[in-house]
C-alpha cells in the first residue's frame, strides 16, 4: 500500500463520464493508499454540467478538490501541468475523465514503484479511430529519432509518478507534447521508466477533444512548434 497518493483527473465537457470516473478513482484510492486526494482539473471553458457534478462529490468527500483551468489557457499540457503542480502527495497518478481506462488496473503499476520512478500503462489494444492510432505511431517514431525516447505508448493517460521528479525540471508544453516532454526530461535526469500492459476501452459517452479521425491540422502544427522549442531547450 502506498503511503500517500494524489490522483489527477482531467475533465473537459465530461458530464456523462465524470461521476463514474470520480467514483472509480475514490474506490481504488481507498484500497491502495493510506492517504489520498483526488484533484479534478476542470476546464473553465466547458459548456456542460461537469462542474456541478464535481461539486456534488466535493460536498460529500473532503479528499476531493477542483482545480480550474482558465478558459483563456487552453491545452492538454496546461491541464496536466496544473494537476501535477496541485498534487501534494508522494505519488501522483493521472488519467482522463473519459473512462477509457479501467482504474481497477491501477494496482498493476504499483509493484514496479520500488525500482522505477514512472510507471506507465501502455494500451494493448487501443480503442481509438484508425487515424489517431496511425498519427500516434508516426509521432512515436519521430520522438524516438529526435530525443531517443523508446516507448510503446508515449501518450497513454495512465501513469503514476514519484512526485519528487517534478522538482528537477519544469514542464513547459501547453499542448499535446506534454507527456513526451515529461518522459524525455525524466529520462535525461536519470529517472527510470517502466511500461506495463493495460486495457483500453472505446468511449461510451462524450467526444474527444482531438476529434474522431486524424488529428486536427491545428493540433499537429502546435505539437511541431512545441517539439522545436523542446529541442532548443535541451540542446542549450
Strands, sheet with 193-198, edge to edge from the N-terminal-most edge strand? 64-69, 33-43, 2-11, 91-96, 158-162, 118-123, 193-198
pLDDT-derived band of residue 207, with 50, 70 and 90 as boundaries?
A: low
First to last CA, the chain: 41
CB of 32 closer than 8 Å to CB of 20: no
Residue with cell 520500488: 114
* Phi, psi for 234 (deg, rounded to 5): -75, -20
CB of 171 closer than 8 Å to CB of 81: yes
82 has a pLDDT exceeding 90: yes
H-only helix segments in 92-216: 130-147, 178-188
pLDDT given for residue 219 in this prediction: 77
Q: Whose CA is closest to 157, among 129, 134, 136, 185? A: 136
Give the Å distances, CA to CA, from 169 to 181, 188, 194, 228, 233.
10, 10, 20, 18, 12
DSSP label of 220 = H
Strand partners, 38: 7, 64
CATH number of the structural domain spanning residue 99:
3.90.550.10
pLDDT-derived band of residue 213, with 50, 70 and 90 as boundaries?
A: low
Q: Render pLDDT for 102-161 as a digit per residue (tens, 0 to 9).
A: 999 999 999 999 999 999 999 998 888 888 888 889 999 999 999 999 999 999 999 999
Q: What is the mean pLDDT of residues 172-201?
A: 97
- Average pLDDT value for the chain: 93
Structural domain of 22: 2-234
Q: Whose CA is closest to 106, among 161, 63, 150? A: 161
Q: Which grid cell sits at 119? A: 510507471
* Phi, psi for 6 (deg, rounded to 5): -105, 125
Count the domains in the chain. Answer: 1
The fraction of the chain above a pLDDT of 70, given in percent, is 95
208 has a pLDDT exceeding 60: no
Q: What is the mean pLDDT of residues 30-51?
A: 96
pLDDT given for residue 204 in this prediction: 73
Amino acid at each position: 500500500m502506498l503511503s500517500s497518493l494524489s490522483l489527477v483527473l482531467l475533465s473537459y465537457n465530461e458530464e456523462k463520464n465524470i461521476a463514474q470516473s470520480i467514483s472509480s478513482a475514490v474506490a481504488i484510492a481507498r484500497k491502495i493508499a493510506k492517504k489520498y486526494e483526488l484533484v479534478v482539473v476542470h476546464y473553465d471553458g466547458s459548456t456542460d454540467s461537469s462542474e456541478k457534478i464535481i461539486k456534488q462529490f466535493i460536498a460529500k468527500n473532503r479528499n476531493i478538490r477542483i482545480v480550474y483551468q482558465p478558459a483563456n489557457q487552453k491545452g492538454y499540457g496546461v491541464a496536466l501541468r496544473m494537476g501535477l503542480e496541485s498534487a501534494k502527495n508522494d505519488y501522483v497518478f493521472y488519467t482522463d475523465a473519459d473512462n477509457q481506462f479501467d482504474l481497477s488496473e491501477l494496482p498493476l503499476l504499483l509493484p514496479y514503484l520500488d525500482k522505477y520512478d514512472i510507471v506507465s500503462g501502455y494500451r494493448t489494444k487501443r480503442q481509438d479511430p484508425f487515424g489517431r492510432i496511425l498519427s500516434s505511431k508516426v509521432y512515436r517514431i519521430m520522438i524516438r529519432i529526435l530525443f531517443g525516447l523508446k516507448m510503446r505508448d508515449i501518450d497513454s493517460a495512465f501513469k503514476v509518478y514519484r512526485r519528487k521528479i517534478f522538482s528537477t525540471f519544469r514542464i513547459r508544453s501547453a499542448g499535446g507534447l506534454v507527456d513526451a516532454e515529461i518522459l524525455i526530461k525524466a529520462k535525461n535526469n536519470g529517472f527510470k521508466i517502466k511500461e506495463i500492459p493495460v486495457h483500453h476501452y472505446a468511449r461510451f459517452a462524450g467526444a474527444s477533444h482531438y476529434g474522431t479521425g486524424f488529428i486536427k491540422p491545428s493540433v499537429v502544427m502546435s505539437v511541431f512548434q512545441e517539439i522545436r522549442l523542446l529541442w532548443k531547450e535541451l540542446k542549450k
